[in-house]
Amino acid sequence: MFLIAPVNASAADATAAKVPLKAAAAEPADDEGAFDKPSVLPDTPGRAALREAGIRMRAIYTGDLFTTLSGGISRGTTFGGRLDLGFEADLEKLAGWKGATFHVNAFLIHGRGQTGDHLGNLFAITNAEATPAARLFELWLEQKIGTLGSIRIGQLAADSEFIASDRAGLFVNGTFGWPGITAANLPSGGPAYPLATPGARLELDFGETTKFRFGVFNGDPAGPAGPLGNPDPQRRNSDGLAFRTNDGAFLITELEQKYKLGGLPGTVKVGAWYHTGNFADQRFDNTGLSLANPLSTGIPANLRANWGPYAVIDQTVMKLPGNAKEDRNVGVFARISASPDDRSLVSFYADTGVVVKGPFASRPNDTFGIGFAYAKISDRARGLDQDTAAFGTVGYPIRDYEALIEVSYKYQVVDGWTIQPDFQYVMHPGGNVPNPNDPTQTITVKNAAVFGVRTTVQF
């Protein structure tokens, strides 16, 4: 697998210059609503009895067949998939524990992906792409606090509740879930698919339209690689059972407000995250020399903490003819975020898109969308490339940005089964980095056109 820039930004891992991609989930793999989605299987008396007793189970299979049509590092076709097994128990019904819920889910991940095999880009082509493994994901206990909200404690993933856009969940590319800026700047990509980590989350409800969330997580779900460690964070925590608690803290807070604009519903979220750990300077070593300087120690300067504010908006802009159950509509979404230049690979990120639910009257359960995402490589990282060119690699490319256009159509075959043709055009994969197959290191990875089909089945 290829990745041009380090995903784990901690100083301890700075010696690992190229590490496999930490995929980001566009549609949170641990989506609580998944338990309520229709199944391809008939609702038997046994399943109904379990629900009545407070026990819910799910099995969702996602399969992705994609090919690089042009550009990238190489051309080729990959198939990868994920089986998500989930179990949830209402402890009030089962044991009389009022307001308590127990949840666990695990993944069986197999196959290969375009980002790892052919592109080396920052935005994972599919949100299911990950190192093949059988792994525990989330394992938590939630306690409701009357009508005030709830507390959740256990092994958690931040991408299931924070920085999330409901409409962006249509798209296959990973950046439309856990955005590319957090996946690139946080150690091991942060607490997001496929790596959850011990933590706690508080959610407070202020009426029906306002929510406040605060989460604190272990700072690195895989732990530092060190000079001789495995550069792949997913292999450092290969089964999801590391349960690490000594890697600093990742804190995130978010305020959500629902509203209506001209009678059409919308949601706005504002938030920020803060990481207490150490981060590697993107350009200078611990003596102040450029890391590209032949006299450099090769050890990046150690910078304390990293952070990033963000905002998310989802807005329905048009209702389409149909009954209330169908809810055909056109909506837009947008997200924006930034991080400090000196310790972050990506200093600015934005995405946006248009999503049509029920694009045709005869297909009210289909969804069509066009999305765009952009990540700016920090000036400090660009400065390192300029130094690399100045110290001898004449013509070495200067990183600038990665951008993506995705067009996707989700077709419902029957309840519980969808097929989703998907096209993506990736501009400046990896941020305009050298092609690893070029010995001169002066030819960049070319813009890539990728086409594929996703199938999702809920049992």
Domain boundaries, the chain: 11-458
**Confidence category of residue 456, pLDDT binned at 50, 70, 90:** very high
- 6 pLDDT above the threshold of 70: no
Sign of the Cα pseudo-torsion (282, 286, 288, 289, in order): negative
pLDDT digits (tens, 9 = 90+) for 167-178: 999 999 999 999
The pLDDT value given to residue 19: 36
**Confidence category of residue 234, pLDDT binned at 50, 70, 90:** very high
**Confidence category of residue 2, pLDDT binned at 50, 70, 90:** very low
pLDDT digits (tens, 9 = 90+) for 361-403: 999 999 999 999 999 999 999 999 999 999 988 999 999 999 9
Lowest-pLDDT choice from 35-49, 55-69, 369-383: 35-49
Q: How far apart are CA 384 and CA 373, in angstroms?
A: 24
Give the residue among 334, 410, 327 at the shortest CA–CA distance from 371.
334
The pLDDT value given to residue 391: 95
Residue 146 vs residue 226, higher pLDDT = 146
The pLDDT value given to residue 449: 98
Q: How far apart are CA 104 and CA 443, in angstroms?
A: 46
Q: What is the dihedral of CA 168, 172, 174, 175, to 10 degrees?
A: -40
- 157 pLDDT above the threshold of 60: yes
**Confidence category of residue 36, pLDDT binned at 50, 70, 90:** confident
Lowest-pLDDT choice from 29-38, 191-200, 365-374, 402-411: 29-38
State the average pLDDT over residues 100-126: 97
The pLDDT value given to residue 228: 74
Q: What is the dihedral of CA 263, 264, 265, 267, to 10 degrees?
A: -110
Which CA distances in Å does 5 have to 52, 102, 120, 382, 457? Answer: 50, 38, 9, 12, 34
Query: Token match 């995705």: residue?
Result: 406
The pLDDT value given to residue 259: 97
Q: How far is CA 118 from the centre of its chain?
A: 20
State the average pLDDT over residues 272-298: 97
Q: How far apart are CA 401 and CA 428, in angstroms?
A: 7
- 11 pLDDT above the threshold of 50: no
The pLDDT value given to residue 31: 53
- 9 pLDDT above the threshold of 60: no
The residues that bridge with 111 in the sheet, in sequence order, are 80
Residue 276 vs residue 13, higher pLDDT = 276
pLDDT digits (tens, 9 = 90+) for 295-328: 999 999 999 999 999 999 999 999 999 887 889 9
The pLDDT value given to residue 32: 54
% of residues, the chain, pLDDT over 70: 93
- 10 pLDDT above the threshold of 90: no
**Confidence category of residue 27, pLDDT binned at 50, 70, 90:** very low
Give the residue among 303, 331, 130, 113 at the shortest CA–CA distance from 221.
130
The pLDDT value given to residue 324: 78
- 136 pLDDT above the threshold of 60: yes
**Confidence category of residue 33, pLDDT binned at 50, 70, 90:** low
Lowest-pLDDT choice from 93-107, 129-143, 256-270, 314-328: 314-328
- 207 pLDDT above the threshold of 70: yes
Q: How far apart are CA 347 and CA 381, in angstroms?
A: 10
On average, the pLDDT of the chain sits at 92
Give the three-state DSSP class for 175: helix
- 57 pLDDT above the threshold of 70: yes
Domain 11-458 has CATH 2.40.160.180: yes
Residue 175, φ and ψ in degrees, nearest 5: -70, -20
- Is the separation of the CB atoms in 404 and 426 below 8 Å? yes
Query: Token match 């700072």: residue?
Result: 219
pLDDT digits (tens, 9 = 90+) for 334-351: 999 999 999 999 999 999
% of residues, the chain, pLDDT over 90: 86
- 227 pLDDT above the threshold of 90: no
